[in-house]
Amino acid sequence: MSINDNLFVIIMASAIFYGTPLVFASLGELLAERSGVLNLGVEGMMLLGAVAAAWVSTNVGGPAIVVLPLAIVAAMIAAGLGASIHAFLTITLRVNQIISGLALTIFAGAAGLSSYLAGIWQLGQTPVKQQFGKIDVFGLTDVPVVGPILFHQTLLTYLSWVLVIAASFYLFRTRAGLHLRAVGESPQTADSVGISVSRYRYFHVIFGGSFAGIAGACFSLMIVPTWVDGMTAGQGWIALALVIFGFWRPDLTLLGAYLFGALSSLGLTLQARGIHISTALLTALPYVMTIVVLVVVSNTASRRQLGAPAALGKPYEREER
């Protein structure tokens, strides 16, 4: 047995593989929430993305280098369209964000629109034609420990790292990012200095939603890889918890996603080695931590310190200024 067969390496490699859709979904939700809009439609948008990506991969001919990016774009558009419904309802019509988000998940999610489209398109009988396989980066796969963990993942994982870095830079190092945070903190103030609250909110809800589409594509092009009804199996809800868990910061959210990924495969890996710890307990652990974080941020002062957008969930009405 080589060093790369040990439990730690196996679990870390699998944590990153299975954490990848969570990184995309929670990063997108983070952008929306930073603008002050909570979107509970992540699960539904993920399934829209998954079905669109599966369709492209199954029906568009050509080499993988063309088809796979197309599939990702299709996933982003499909989920972005879903997000635009939420954006219109909550930003223009100022509908309750929780209700609108839930409606989006029910409408688009399992046994909803995504399943309906898959039925029409006859997806799910066979695996998708083109999929994201693990690649060997710079031939470093066999390097002890870090090889399998960092250099033997799929392109989607590397894309997620690029996006996390870009989002961190955007949020904390650019003018637009500053404006975005202002809109999420105090839309009145932002408005008074001439920042268009609704434009910022529209853009980030829709663009963030399209990230959920990539997360869905991770399932239908990388993990399973075929279309299966309701294939995201609740991961969209975990992504929502992760945003809180990561204090609305891209880097911490990524770590949280991998922690969720690790704990969810840890139970099975231990079981296969004859160690019996309740799988249910292990998978529940991250939620316990999320509850702890929720308790911490429930206090207004600590909320501000930890980065919770102060205007999160509140519709902005200019007249009430």
Partner 1 sequence: MVSQPSNTRRRLRFAGVAAVAVLAVVSLVATACSKSSSSGSSGGTVKAAWIYVGPVNDGGWTQAHDAGRKYVETKLGSKVKTTYKENVPEGPEVAQVINDLIKDGNTVIFATSYGFKDAMQAAATANPKVKFEMATGDSITLGQKVASNYNEFYGAGEDSLYITGIAAGKATKNNSIGVSAPFAIPEVIRGINAFTLGAQSVNPAAKVNVVWTKTWFDPAVERKSAESLVAAGADVIFSHQDSPSAGEVAKAKNLPWFGYDSDQSGPYSSVWQTAGTYNWGPFELSELNKVIDGTWKQNNYYGTIADNFAGLAPYGSTVAAATKTLMDAEITKAKAGKADAFGWYWGLADRQDQDGKTVITKGQTLTMKDLYTMSYFVKGTTGSPKG
3-state secondary structure of 33: helix
145 binds partner 1 (CB under 8 A): no
120 binds partner 1 (CB under 8 A): no
Site residues for partner 1, window 196-225 (CB under 8 A)? Answer: 219, 223-225
Q: Are 246 and 258 contacting, i.e. CB atoms less than 8 angstroms apart?
A: no
304 binds partner 1 (CB under 8 A): no
38 binds partner 1 (CB under 8 A): no
99 binds partner 1 (CB under 8 A): yes
| Cβ 103 to partner 1 shortest distance, Å | 4
18 binds partner 1 (CB under 8 A): yes
Rounded Cα distance between 104 and 204, Å, is: 17
Instruction: Output the six-digit token pair for 249.
Output: 């910061």
Q: What DSSP string describes 36-66?
A: T---TTHHHHHHHHHHHHHHHHHH--S-HHH
Q: Which of 74, 167, 228, 311 binds partner 1 (CB under 8 A)?
A: 228
116 binds partner 1 (CB under 8 A): yes
| Cβ 248 to partner 1 shortest distance, Å | 26
311 binds partner 1 (CB under 8 A): no
106 binds partner 1 (CB under 8 A): yes
For partner 1, the closer of residues 73 and 268 by Cβ is 268
For partner 1, the closer of residues 95 and 255 by Cβ is 95
Site residues for partner 1, window 51-90 (CB under 8 A)? Answer: 85, 89
With CA atoms as reference, report the closest residue to 37 among 189, 197, 176, 177: 197
154 binds partner 1 (CB under 8 A): no
With CA atoms as reference, report the closest residue to 42 among 88, 99, 6, 82: 82
End-to-end CA distance of the chain: 67
Rounded Cα distance between 279 and 270, Å, is: 9
The one segment of 165-173, 176-184, 189-197, 229-237 that binds partner 1 by CB under 8 A? 229-237
20-50 as b/e, with b when 16 or more CB fall inside 10 Å? bbbbbbbbbbbbbbbbbbbbbbbbbbbbbbb
39 binds partner 1 (CB under 8 A): no
Helix axes 235-245, 42-59, angle to 10 degrees: 130
Residues that bind partner 1 (CB under 8 A): 5, 10, 14, 18, 85, 89, 92-95, 99-100, 103-104, 106-108, 111-113, 115-116, 119, 122, 124-127, 219, 223-226, 228-231, 233, 235, 264-265, 268-269, 271-274, 276, 279-280, 317, 319-320
